Amino acid sequence: MSDRKDLELFCKDKKRKFKDIRSNCNLSANFEYKIKNINSLEAIKDIFIVEIPENSPLWRLRAYFLGFFYTDGSIFRIKKPIQYMVYAAQNEKDKDIIENLQKAIGGNITGPNEVGRIRLEFTNKELYFKLQKLGMVEKHNLKVGALKVRVPIIVNRKINGISLLRDFVRGLLEGDGCFSGCYEDCSLRYQLLGPKQFIKALNERILEEIPDISSFITPAYLKVFLKDNKEYIFFGKNRIYIKGRGLYELTPKDLENGKIERREHKWLTKLHFAGAFNSIRFFKWLYCDDDNFDEIEIIGIKLCGSRKFQKALFALGNKTKRKEKLAPEWRDIIYQVIPELDNKFYESRELMQIVNESLRETLNKLEVEHIFEGKKITKLDSFVYRLKFFEYVDNLIGHFRKKEGKVCKNYYYSKLNPPKNLPNNMFYYIDLVKLNGEIIRNIKNLIISLFIRNNIVKSFEIILEEILETKIFSKSSVPKSRIKLYLMELVAFNILLADDGMEDIKSNKFFFNLNALEDIFKLDSKVIKNKYYKFLSSLTKI
């Protein structure tokens, strides 16, 4: 997301006043990263303004950079004096994308700023109106503009049989998209973020081009920090915006005195292509199944950024490995089954049977039904673990407990097609405490204990290291995939606060939120702390 986008979020639709910005000015003269300005009107490779022949590959560059502008770009007018501004922003770790864009349209690069973002910006009336004609809208990062965003007509064009849709989507991915996960723990996924109506239409277009892929759409979420009857919106990396002060980084003390809420975004949604099968299919389409796609150039300009491409290539494997992985197993099929569930409640065994039947049908269509026995799911514990992943990572599954006599049963339902009425005697559940108030011996409670003992910001690797230091668990009994899920579950219940700006949970840093435990235990924080100190001392003498 661009820095302008985030700042506008805090303004809550109020009009902002812009200072006089000249064509070649450097807004951050003290920044280290500077590139000599290239006047767009004189640039030979101005990809949006020059006339392009009917079947020229330059159309691919135009579609790609248009996709990037749709996410991390912006066009706006300044009234006094009248200026037509065009700019794009990106994290400095993807500076090759901004440099590549500069080769295509010119402009002035400044940065990085205090949050590590670089910007390409300049005034150009002709480019402003050209981008507007191609589908860009002003204030597309605010609701008033986002509702006007549509899939551009340019994606209907094909150049030498290659659809411009994939180039446009690749540009979107460079901005508000991500690839994450690894093949070993079946957490692979591509995600694209955008306004509801835009994402829905885009998904339909993609499925037309890749009919053997499955996808799902979920709401996007934002976090709000509540303190002293005021609310503050998060600005990534555990920062909030305070009017008159700017960005402020929360401390563990702040979290003890405040409260965090996770709210569904009113107009932003996420498009997911999840699982190895879907991720590989999407990669093949997006990058033409070429292991060297990030080296391809058209008149010296590349068709993708390097980092996200190489990250996906490393996780999915080379062309030969990808071909071997394409036969789906139950973990891949489940991404197809869950979004299509009826609006009712399911027990875990019933869901497991549905997944296996769908897998059999898929393998039969691929004429490889003979491998079904080796691909199906037979262990209920492994299946329930996967359902937790859908609940806390993908937000596809809702999970409740229902008391039936003396027994509590687990029930699941699709969040994309939920039952009309949720029974009153159903409740959210995280296994931290028994009915008698005793703390359950599990890794989630151990993680909480470690935060209570030393309440500082902790990375994934630090948490894993501290768990192993207790000498209760060995490395073999604490797989990283399980720790990742436990952390996501604690985040889902607001017990931990994660850095949403990171694509991979292993790259996140975590804060501890004691207030959430008070709601779960229905006890005073001092009592809860005392309980966890005793719990930790009962496990280890450290």
Asked whether 516 and 495 are in contact (CB, 8 A), the reply is yes
* 534 alpha carbon, distance to own chain's centre: 38
443-539 shares the fold of 327-427: yes
CATH topology of domain 3-215+269-319: Endonuclease I-creI (3.10.28)
State which amino acid sits at residue 31.
F
Mean pLDDT within 152-166? 93
β-strands 107-110, 35-38 pairing: antiparallel
Asked whether 298 and 270 are in contact (CB, 8 A), the reply is no
Tell me: the pLDDT tens digits for 357-404? 999 998 998 888 888 999 999 999 889 888 888 888 788 888 887 777
Q: Where are the domains of the chain?
A: 3-215+269-319, 327-427, 443-539
Task: Please tell me the distance from the alpha carbon of residue 423 to that of residue 402, in angstroms, as a whole number.
Answer: 9
Residue 516 has pLDDT above 80, yes or no: yes
Residue whose tokens read 């700006």:
501
Q: What is the mean pLDDT of the chain?
A: 83
As a three-state string, the secondary structure of 195-220 is EHHHHHHHHHHHHHHCCCCCCEEEEE
Mean pLDDT within 250-278? 88
Query: Among residues 128, 123, 100, 98, which one has the least CA distance to residue 110?
Result: 98
Domain 443-539, classified CATH 1.10.10, yes or no = yes
Higher-confidence position of 43 and 230 = 230
Ranking 96-105, 174-183, 311-320, 463-472 by mean pLDDT, the lowest is 463-472
260 pairs with which residues across the strands? 225
In CATH, what number does 327-427 get? 1.10.10
Ranking 23-37, 259-273, 326-340, 504-518 by mean pLDDT, the lowest is 23-37
At 505, is the pLDDT very low, low, confident or very high (cuts 50, 70, 90)? low
pLDDT of res. 521: 86
pLDDT of res. 242: 84
Higher-confidence position of 458 and 152 = 152
pLDDT of res. 479: 73
At 19, is the pLDDT very low, low, confident or very high (cuts 50, 70, 90)? very low
**Token representation of residue 156:** 């209907």
At 451, is the pLDDT very low, low, confident or very high (cuts 50, 70, 90)? very high
